[in-house]
Amino acid sequence: MNPSPLQTAILFHIGIVPISRTVVTTWGLMAVLSVASWIVTRSFRVDAGGWQAMVETVVAGIEEQIAALLNRDAAPFLPLLGTLFIFLVVANLCGIVPGVTAPTASIETPAALAAIVFLSVHFYGVRIQGVGAYLKGYLRPNPVMLPFNILSELTRTFSLAMRLFGNIMSEEMAVAIIVAMAGLLVPIPFMAFGILVGLVQAYIFSVLATVFIGGGIGAIKK
Amino acid sequence: MNFSWWSFALQAANFLILVWLLRRFLFKPVSAIVARRKEEIARGVAEASAEKQKALNLQRELQAQRAAIEAERQKAIEEQGTQLAAERMKMLDEARADAEKIRNQATTQLSEERATAAQELFSRTIELAVNLAERLLRGLAFPSIERAFLTRVLDYLDHLSAEERAALVAHLGETALVVTTAHPLDAQEEAQWSEQLGKRIGAGGGIKFNSDSALIAGAEITLPSAVLRFSWRDALTTAAREINRNEHAG
């Protein structure tokens, strides 16, 4: 049993690398998502059936949201941002399964995702605008704003991670406290509320990541 | 709360691997099937458009054919009408010609029949007139009237030229002279006729006397080369012939 809900539980080590419960849960989610995607997409036909129609609707909806936010073709950004949204939905909601802890309730997962978003902003910005044009963006509206722009990059990444971690961790902790105090059935409304929170947080994280990347590529004013 | 940099790194790697996995097993197949569907829809739209164009072309072609058939029909109707009108005119002309011919033939036949009837009527009238005259003359023809005719015969012979008289009496000696009168002559009258005729034309072969009531009155002298007629019968016959000749000449 964890001494603290904020403590990362180490299940085993591979060499010197400690493997935590969060990482193992993430591997499980990765396996589920990959196998489910493979099973569903291997039988894709032009005349879509029930599952295929649902999957296509979800993917097309994500692509339309990205295109609407970036005002451009969403295809180059779909793998990263689409995976981010799907992973966050699954990761946030897996906490309702008994015995499973949401990976996003551990600070390392939101921090890793936020770090990837941070790096993706620079990657796409340099790739699409070029190094010079991208770096000049930090001098606008005037060079005096350079330190503030850099600080803004760091703080928004930090806030992105902390927002997700705080919401999911606090929701799980609240459910755990209520279960410990009130029994089995009382936490159900809180768990339903947790579903809503998980979906909203996944959406907020994905939208903010899209907005940040849009700012990096010049599609959105910073 | 502590922060595990190993977990941080592993989660970052896990996410990047998941990005690759979903890109491979989810986003690419979905994009491919959507692109394929769009392509098939575009092909279907293109085929439908081509079919529509083909149908429009076919419709235009059918309309053109229909118009051509209609024009040909109108032309055939007009040609048929023209031909029928020509044939009708020809038949009318032929009918008129036939009617005119029949009318002319009927007119000609009628005229001929009328002329024939008129001729027959005229001949019948002449015949009736001659019969009437003959009946009247028979009432006047007494036997004594023969003497007057003897006078006329003698007067005729007296006025003949020498050549005419020679031609008249040629061959008279070989056959007998025949005198035919309407009434039988008695011996005295025969002697008188023989004497007078013998003086003028000879009559070496003799004279024979006959009677024929058809002469009504008068006599006929039969010579070898001619017959001299001095009778009312001859006068009536001559008059009827003259009247008929004048009628025909008129």
Chain B residues 43-102 with a CB less than 8 Å from chain A: none
Classify residue A5: in a domain, yes or no. no
Quote the pLDDT of residue A4: 63
Whether A23 sits inside 8 A of B11 (CB atoms) is: yes
Is A2 among the domain residues? no
A51, amino acid identity: W
Looking at CA atoms only, how far is residue A59 from chain B in angstroms? 7
Q: Cis peptide before A141, with omega less than 30 degrees from 0?
A: yes
Residue A209 or B239, more confident: A209
B-facing residues of A in 53-82 (CB < 8 A) are 55-56, 59-60, 75, 78-80, 82
pLDDT at B93: 94
Query: Nearest CB to A41: which of B10, B11, B25?
Result: B25
Under 8 Å between Cβ of A160 and A208 = yes
pLDDT at B204 (0 to 100): 61
Range of the domain at A210: 10-216
Is the Cβ of B214 closer than 8 Å to some Cβ of chain A? Answer: no
Q: Edge-to-edge strand order for the sheet containing B207-211?
A: B207-211, B177-181, B218-222, B227-231
The alpha carbon of residue B17 is apart from the nearest alpha carbon of chain A, in Å, by: 9
The tally of domains found in chain A comes to 1
Chain A residues with CB-CB distance to B11 below 8 A: 22-23, 26, 103, 108-109, 111-113
Q: Does residue A4 lie within any of the structural domains?
A: no
Give residue A1's pLDDT.
Answer: 43
Partner residue opposite A79 with nearest CB, options B23, B33, B37: B23
Residue A23: CB partners within 8 Å, gap ≥ 6? B7, B10, B11, B14
Radius of gyration of chain B (CA): 66
Separation of alpha carbons B153 and B207, rounded Å? 15
A42 lies in some domain: yes
pLDDT along chain B (250 residues), means of 10: 88 96 94 91 93 95 96 95 94 92 89 84 84 86 82 87 81 78 87 84 76 88 85 87 79
* Contact between B211 and B184 (Cβ < 8 Å): yes
Q: Give the mean pLDDT of A169-190.
A: 81
pLDDT tens per residue across span A137-177: 888 888 888 999 899 999 999 999 999 999 999 888 888 88
B187: left (phi over 0), alpha (psi -120 to 50) or beta: alpha
**pLDDT number for residue A112:** 96
Residue A107, φ and ψ in degrees, nearest 5:
-65, -25
Is A1 inside a domain boundary?
no
A17/B31 touch (CB, cutoff 8 Å), yes or no: no
Please tell me the predicted confidence (pLDDT) of residue A93: 93
pLDDT of residue A24: 95
Question: Would the CB atoms of A56 and B40 count as touching at under 8 Å?
Answer: no
